[in-house]
Amino acid sequence: MSLRLYLEIMQSLGIKEPDPPSGLGRVVEGLPSWFDVSGLAEASIAAAAVQAAALSDLGPQNINVDRRLCGLWFGWSLRPQGWVMPNPWDPIAGDFKARDGWIRLHTNAPHHRAAALRVLGTPDEKEAVIAAVARWDADELEAAVVEAGGCAAAMRSLEEWAHHPQGQAIAAEPLIDWSEAPILASGRVALNTAGPLDGVRVLDLTRVLAGPVATRFLAAFGANVLRIDPPSWDEPGVIPEVTLGKRCAGLDLHDADDRGQFAELLRTADILVHGYRPGALEEIGFGKDERRQLNPGLIDVCLDAYGWTGPWAKRRGFDSLVQMSAGIADAGMRMEGLEKPCPLPVQALDQATGYLMAAAAARALLIRRVTGTALSAQLSLARTAHLLASTLSSLKPPMQATETNDDLAPEIELTDWGTARRLKFPVSISGVALGSSLRACKLRSSLPSW
């Protein structure tokens, strides 16, 4: 199955007859799911690696992708030593039984939690939320929370999603939606055989989790990644995992001086990776036209949750919510014979979309260097869910063996929180040293400059 997924991904990158890395698709073990999550992990990481390696004129025959490690990287790659990662989930977040079905509330961000509690009229207590949700129909509560500025998703079946207006819009969208602007310039990044992305400047405006996965992967291939966050944003349960290889700075894009600094960063970047919903950057004066005027050669790679067309195009969303909306949690529940939603064993929509974004960025760099065309790419968690839904099977793969010390890289990582081990990188390329000397760091720990 992973070979089919790989071919479909590569075709979405504009490569009609791709050659896969050797060994791709050899099924030996997998993550516990009725969907081919392990195949998606292997295929998406392989596609990103092949595209990045192509910048050094290295072909698939030079690349080895480890299926087991790909599956492990779809979870968490960091193993703290002597300290504990904070819980990434807010105490209120989770699946709740409504009057006529199930609904998931995503309350990790304080303003999203406040919106849900305001709609429900309850204090910040799990038992009170359970009782309040039980008095609502799932669809009505979903609509009310979203209208209030929160994040929620009623559980739908695959069939229900296929007939839903947003599900139909997603099915009609490409996996990667490309647009282009001829700039008649070769770009400032030249061929580098030692590190495929050495010298490439990546401006990272992404949050949990797909975008940071994309830029972490680009950093491993040598990219100079600078992440920008607003003054008050934090993701304590995720930041140690995703800031490997990056520098992290802070800017307030509502402040005139900070806007000027950001404009200069944008003007001198090669790639912008962002996860803002449609129209969000336009609202603060950095829309597509403004970005293109500042930097005609900028490669723009962006994602959202529910796609770029249809009635939900501007809806806030996260991996766990899209799994509920798109039928994945319901299908898992039915296949397992459970009475509650059964999500994927990992946040596969985030992870796969992140690697697809990395693949798109690398592909766009190569095209800019060869043709002088600056490409933009749009992706979404919901469209990745549509791809994964096509792999539903009545058989689970053999269970992936328990992680051992052999799965970990030998190096000790001195993160800003303490020492840690990291999983071995899932890709190796002959003649290319992958990885970064930059340790995982806290947000706003660097200056906003290259």
- Examine the residue annotation and report whether 100 is marked as an active-site residue of this protein: no
Cα separation, 13 vs 30, whole angstroms: 26
Cα separation, 255 vs 220, whole angstroms: 32
Active-site annotation holder among 19, 350, 406, 416: 350
Active site residues: 350
